[in-house]
């Protein structure tokens, strides 16, 4: 059973108004008749799957994308009846369950269709499975690799009463880059695939957040709006978004212990930090078991608008910071967010770690409670 740390002052504060703003603004930019499916996989990129889904519907989302079947079942159990597409490959033995629950499957091979037929006929004989055919135009992850294989699968798909050909899509690997050469190569491959289709299905979609933000001519009639919906720029700092993305996630805690560290004394495992002079040090109740990376030693947090260095190794459940002067226990500390005019963004944290903000947002563990505003 997962334990949530409700009896300590560490929490992720999720601003639902920011999520609403990002989705509604993007929805307004779309061509008439274009659907927006909100991507809520990985617990809504760490923001909370059902809470994000609720806000997304209010903001104009008409469906959802998830990574695994269990995420789709979570949405169905919570009462969401919008279309849901599982973007990953689901084992064919669960095809009948997906059909029964009106959950759409990504299919990348004709073999999968053949293997899934028995499950559908057994579990859901009166309800066909909605299928989106995935095309590998250069991502190299899943999907049909040649137009000829796609054409054969479409023939088999449309001939079987067990399936409904609902959609077709691909995924771009460099839509978030200023260098568009590889993106254009994928577009060319996409067009070669589409040329063998005798008829287009209900949903034709290629656009993730980056594609929709910077290549919206490619949107088709549906976009998969992911990280930008949470207010995070999919390209990091390389490209500027066409509208203001409002980050929805704030990470905060409070000082639980304060001491004066004497010159020559050290802090934390390995004694990697030694005070050169007397200084005030605060202990914070958060560590790498909460998803705050151990490699953030030397980075900073915000206390009363001051950037305060993280000193010593970050522990599993606690970490230490150097204060400009003594502060009382209970003082709020901002690890991601704004404080008295100073800001630490998730991008700042990611840059220091040498990673992307996606990883950090998804990495905050369930031990950290999510608190929702607006």
pLDDT one-digit tens code per residue, 27-59: 999 999 999 999 999 999 999 999 999 999 999
Give me the percent of the chain exceeding a pLDDT of 70: 100
Q: Kindly state whether residue 23 falls inside one of the protein's structural domains.
A: no
The annotation status of 316 as a binding-site residue, yes or no, is yes
The domain tally of the chain equals: 2
Q: How far is the C-alpha of 108 from the C-alpha of 154, rounded, in Å?
A: 11
Q: How far is the C-alpha of 107 from the C-alpha of 133, rounded, in Å?
A: 5
Last residue of a domain, one of 171, 195, 230: 230
Q: Kindly state whether residue 169 falls inside one of the protein's structural domains.
A: yes
Angle at 370 between CA 367 and CA 374, to 5 degrees: 175
Residue at token pair 């000829």 = 148
Residue 256 and residue 198 share a domain: no
Q: How far is the C-alpha of 149 from the C-alpha of 127, rounded, in Å?
A: 26
Which residues carry out catalysis?
A: 41, 269
CA 202 to chain centroid, in Å, comes to 25
Q: Kindly state whether residue 111 falls inside one of the protein's structural domains.
A: yes
Residue 174 and residue 38 share a domain: yes
* H or E segment to which residue 63 belongs: strand 63-66
Q: How far is the C-alpha of 232 from the C-alpha of 359, rounded, in Å?
A: 12
CA 77 to chain centroid, in Å, comes to 21
Residue 105 and residue 202 share a domain: yes
Residue 178 and residue 40 share a domain: yes
| Residue 20 pLDDT exceeds 90 | yes
Residue 282 and residue 193 share a domain: no
Q: Are strands 370-373 and 306-311 parallel, antiparallel or unpaired?
A: unpaired
CATH number at residue 166: 3.20.20.10
Q: Kindly state whether residue 24 falls inside one of the protein's structural domains.
A: no
What six digits make up the tokens of 226?
Answer: 């992911």
Q: Kindly state whether residue 349 falls inside one of the protein's structural domains.
A: yes
Mean pLDDT calculated for residue range 166-171: 98
CATH number at residue 339: 2.40.37.10
Give the pLDDT band of residue 166 (cuts 50, 70, 90). Answer: very high
Mean pLDDT calculated for residue range 318-335: 98
pLDDT one-digit tens code per residue, 115-132: 999 999 999 999 999 999
Mean pLDDT calculated for residue range 260-267: 98
* H or E segment to which residue 43 belongs: helix 41-45
How many other CB atoms are found less than 10 A from the CB of residue 199? Answer: 7
| Residue 217 pLDDT exceeds 90 | no
| Residue 181 pLDDT exceeds 90 | yes
- Is 365 or 2 the better-scoring residue by pLDDT? 365
Side-chain-facing half-sphere of 299: CA atoms under 13 Å: 25
What is the pLDDT at residue 2? 81
Three-state secondary-structure class, residue 335: strand
Residue 89: phi and psi, rounded to 5, are -80, 125
Give me the percent of the chain exceeding a pLDDT of 90: 98
Alpha helices in 124-258 (DSSP H): 147-159, 181-194, 209-214
Q: How far is the C-alpha of 36 from the C-alpha of 56, rounded, in Å?
A: 9
Residue 212 and residue 65 share a domain: yes
The annotation status of 141 as a binding-site residue, yes or no, is yes
What is the pLDDT at residue 287? 98
Residue 312: phi and psi, rounded to 5, are 75, 170
Give the pLDDT band of residue 218 (cuts 50, 70, 90). Answer: confident
What is the pLDDT at residue 1? 79
Q: How far is the C-alpha of 167 from the C-alpha of 69, rounded, in Å?
A: 17
**Residues 16, 28 contacting (CB under 8 angstroms):** no
**Residues 285, 292 contacting (CB under 8 angstroms):** no
Residue 336 and residue 257 share a domain: yes
pLDDT one-digit tens code per residue, 146-162: 999 999 999 999 999 99
What is the pLDDT at residue 322? 98
Last residue of a domain, one of 230, 263, 297: 230
Give the pLDDT band of residue 208 (cuts 50, 70, 90). Answer: very high
Residue 165 and residue 289 share a domain: no
Range of the domain at 260: 249-373
What is the pLDDT at residue 107? 98
Q: How far is CA 118 from CA 94, 108, 134, 197, 352, in A?
A: 10, 18, 22, 26, 51
Q: Kindly state whether residue 26 falls inside one of the protein's structural domains.
A: no
Q: Would you say how long the chain is, in residues?
A: 374
**Residues 35, 60 contacting (CB under 8 angstroms):** no
Treating both helix axes as pointing N-terminal to C-terminal, what angle do 69-77 and 49-59 enclose, rounded to 10 degrees?
A: 70
215-240 burial, b for 16+ CB within 10 Å, e for fewer?
A: bbebbbebbbbbbbbbbbbbbeeebe
What is the pLDDT at residue 206? 96
Mean pLDDT calculated for residue range 275-299: 98
Q: How far is the C-alpha of 183 from the C-alpha of 148, rounded, in Å?
A: 22
What is the pLDDT at residue 157? 95
pLDDT one-digit tens code per residue, 54-112: 999 999 999 999 999 999 999 999 999 999 999 999 999 999 999 999 999 999 999 99
Three-state secondary-structure class, residue 103: strand
Give the pLDDT band of residue 9 (cuts 50, 70, 90). Answer: very high
């Amino acid at each position: 059973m997962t334990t949530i740390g409700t009896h300590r002052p560490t929490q992720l504060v999720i601003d639902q108004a920011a999520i609403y703003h990002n989705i509604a603004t993007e929805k307004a930019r779309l061509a008439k008749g274009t659907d927006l499916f909100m991507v809520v996989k990985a617990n809504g990129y760490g923001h909370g799957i059902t809470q994000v889904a609720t806000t997304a519907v209010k903001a104009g989302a008409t469906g959802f994308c998830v990574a695994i079947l269990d995420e789709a079942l979570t949405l169905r159990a919570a009462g969401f009846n919008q279309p849901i597409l599982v973007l990953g490959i689901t084992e064919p033995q669960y095809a009948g369950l997906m059909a029964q629950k009106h959950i759409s499957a990504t299919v990348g091979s004709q073999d999968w269709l053949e293997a899934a037929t028995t499950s559908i006929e057994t579990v859901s004989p009166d309800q066909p499975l909605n299928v989106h055919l995935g095309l590998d135009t250069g991502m190299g992850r899943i999907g049909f690799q040649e137009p000829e294989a796609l054409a054969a699968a479409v023939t088999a798909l449309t001939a079987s009463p067990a399936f409904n050909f609902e959609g077709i899509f691909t995924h771009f690997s460099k839509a978030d880059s200023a260098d568009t050469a590889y993106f254009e190569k994928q577009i060319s491959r996409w067009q070669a695939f589409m040329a063998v289709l005798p008829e287009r299905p209900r949903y034709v979609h290629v656009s993730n957040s980056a594609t929709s933000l910077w290549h919206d001519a490619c949107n088709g009639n549906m976009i998969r709006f992911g990280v930008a919906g949470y207010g995070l720029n999919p390209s990091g700092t390389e490209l500027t978004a066409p509208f203001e993305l409002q980050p929805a996630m704030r990470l905060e805690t409070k000082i639980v212990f304060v001491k004066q560290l004497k010159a020559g004394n050290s802090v934390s495992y390995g004694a990697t930090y030694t005070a050169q002079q007397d200084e005030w040090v605060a202990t914070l109740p958060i560590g790498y078991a909460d998803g705050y990376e151990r490699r953030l030693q030397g980075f900073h947090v915000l206390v009363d608008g001051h950037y305060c260095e993280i000193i010593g190794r970050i522990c599993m459940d606690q970490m230490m910071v150097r204060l400009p002067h003594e502060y009382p226990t209970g003082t709020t500390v901002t690890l991601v967010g704004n404080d008295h005019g100073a800001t630490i963004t998730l991008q700042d944290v990611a840059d220091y770690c040498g990673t992307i903000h996606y990883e950090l947002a998804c990495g905050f563990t369930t031990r950290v409670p999510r608190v929702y505003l607006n």
